[in-house]
Amino acid sequence: MNLVFLGASGSGKDTQAELLVKQFGYTRLSTGDLLRMLTHGESEMQKIIKLAMNDGFLNDSFVYGLLEIYFKYSKLNNAILSGVVRSVNQVELLDIALKKNGMTVDKAVYFELSDAEAIKRLSGRRYCPNCKENYHKEFKPEKIEGKCDFCNSLLATREDDNPESIKKRLTDFHKENDLIIEKYKNRGILEVIDASPSIEEIYKILLLKLGL
């Protein structure tokens, strides 16, 4: 079963995806993951693609063409596509890439979260620049204020994890997401899950929705 996970930043969709990966052997994939795999190296072409990616120069035709190639040669099955569909036009592009490889989207799952809760979750995030461990002021606090539990490095906050920047991101998200979920709803494959309860509660509901 191939799944598309939808949800604003902070909705916990990737956390839920990882639980399915661990329990059922799903493969989680995003277009960002694919591009990072492609640019992980120091060859001239990898450096060029990395520059193009950072400059926002890689268009949908390139990215979804790459996704089509990945589907063909990876023999991917039982995939969770999270962060793959971010605009309504990309729904069709994903369909094409899948169809050419005899695949389809079986379920689209939207993790619904209020903007107020999303702002609360995102504005409390911190991370370790050294070992990349993630923290949250309320949900996953570090043991010593401001320091990583594992390597003792000083924690940092993303520049755009402030309430004003988050509000703008959420506004942009809703403009496209409302159209995306309408498309999947019309196909009869959309499942909507309240993303405000605990991780464990959401996972139980997710398994029921997917029949797992």
Domain ranges for the chain, please list them.
Answer: 3-113+190-210
Name the superfamily (CATH) of residues 3-113+190-210: P-loop containing nucleotide triphosphate hydrolases (3.40.50.300)
Sign of the CA dihedral with 109 first, then 107, 16, and 67 last = negative
Q: What is the mean pLDDT of the chain?
A: 92
Q: What is the pLDDT of residues 38-96, one digit of tens each?
A: 888 888 988 998 888 888 888 999 999 999 999 999 888 899 999 999 999 999 999 99
**Phi, psi (rounded to 5 degrees) for 192:** -110, 130
3-state SS, residue 41: coil
Residue 195 tokens read as 């993303």
**Phi, psi (rounded to 5 degrees) for 135:** -135, 170
Q: What is the pLDDT of residues 168-178, one digit of tens each?
A: 999 999 999 99
Please count the other Cβ atoms lying within 10 Å of the Cβ belonging to residue 39: 19
pLDDT value at 163 more than 90: no
Give long-range contacts, CB 8 A cutoff, 24+ apart: 19-28.
Answer: 19/199, 19/203, 20/80, 20/206, 20/212, 21/80, 24/78, 24/212, 25/78, 26/78, 26/79, 26/80, 27/76, 27/77, 27/78, 27/79, 27/80, 28/79, 28/80, 28/82
pLDDT value at 101 more than 90: yes
Non-local (6+) Cβ contacts of 211 within 8 A are none
Non-local (6+) Cβ contacts of 38 within 8 A are 46, 49, 66
Q: What is the pLDDT of residue 138?
A: 83
Q: Write down the residue that tokens 């079986």 correspond to.
A: 106
Residue 159 tokens read as 């520049």
User: Distance (Å, rounded) from C-alpha 137 to C-alpha 112?
Assistant: 22
pLDDT value at 2 more than 90: yes
Q: What is the pLDDT of residue 115?
A: 94
